[in-house]
Structure 1
Amino acid sequence: MNDDAKRPGLVAGLDEAGRGPVLGPMAVAIVATDDEEALRALGVRDSKQLSPQRRAELAAAIRQSCECAVELIEPETIDRFVAEGGLNRLEERAFARLIAQLAPTVAFVDSPELDGEKVGARISGRLPPGLECQVIARTKADQNIPAAAAASILAKEAREAAMARLREELGECGSGYPSDERTITFLKEYRRERGKWPPGTRKSWKTLERLEPRVTLDDFGTDDE
């Protein structure tokens, strides 16, 4: 946390990218500014509405004009939280760490749950003593709050960069989403050839259960063979 327990006028937005993929990390980001109008002037919007080129351009501009931080959460950590407490609790902890890092006056969080008030309260409860920050969690914050939209851009860029590194290591593996046939084909072939899932796989995802090879009696042959 910064020396000042409270940063007058500093408004932050937080968002994630990569909740749903079966492959690769989840990225969480915070963007803090004392000039939201400057973000509006840049044309920031929810990262899902931007082309990759425009997203990269805005990410560079955001980093130059705002205080930012990004955290990558690896699949092993995701799997542990899915088993123990759920992905939302993992997100809330990550958001609290990022808020503590920049210490804004107000933090708008893109809520993973409809009950944003409860989400905000849980995040607030994880902030360091002495950090006075009003945490406001709401759904679709990335569509309505410039700082949250900016955070969605940085999170998406971080997630895409991580996937690019994974493709360098593993070869073409698609976007990592279960809806991507390239990802599904890659996982099937890797599992069949090596007998295990590749690095970066979220082993808690039910997608993998559907991809597991099915062994039948025919696979064992007969006594006559």
Structure 2
Amino acid sequence: MKASPSQTDHGLLRRVLSLGARLIALGIALTILWVMLYRVVPVPGTTLMGWRSMQGQAISRDWVPLDDISPQLVRAVIAAEDTGFCQHIGFDVEAIKVAIADARAGSGWRGASTISQQTAKNAFLWHGRDPLRKLAEVWFTGLQELIWSKRRIMEVYLNVAEWGDGNFGAEAAAQARFGKPALELTAYEASLLAAVLPSPNRWSANPPGPYVASRAETLRKRMATVRRNGLDTCIY
């Protein structure tokens, strides 16, 4: 007896759904393995590095362990980018609420990305604001927080962040801007590097313009607060 058209359609649908479920499970497993690999292996490169290279920029980048990066720079980026880094689990709920309120008020979408989210975006994803990328960012951020330590998140962040003119990572930035290794950065120098992070190709860390100099001065005060209040205790 031949199967009816309805039975054939249902069988095909089940096979398609089964294949889709298997592909989703495979994708989830592969992303978990990817995050586990980067827990111990230096990130070889990012999509932004590739994009800058395609634009004709020479890429300079030297991966160094967190112990070879000045604590001053760690405190500077916490002060500049994410004071709740050691307390949250990847997402700053209050900052997200403020960003949503600003967007609804017509001020545009600003802020809300934690260091964990920026690390996920830089290490695993492409740059952009499309919904698919933002959803993937949430997934990878959650995986990082589950699989990596906070020290590892900070280590990766400081090694893949863009600091302008093709310089990626703290070591390349310290050498290019101040002619010294990242481990020897002073509080002043670290604050200047952190001050330009929102727009590293627009602002100069050395010599700093009026805005960067003013922002760096503010950051140095915040850095003292970070140390005094133990906002870096998940790292030191």
TM-score clears 0.5: no
Give the structure with the higher percent strand: 1
Q: Which has the higher contact order (CA 8 A, sep 6+)?
A: 1
Larger Rg: 2
TM-score normalised by L of structure 1 = 0.28
TM-score normalised by L of structure 2 = 0.27
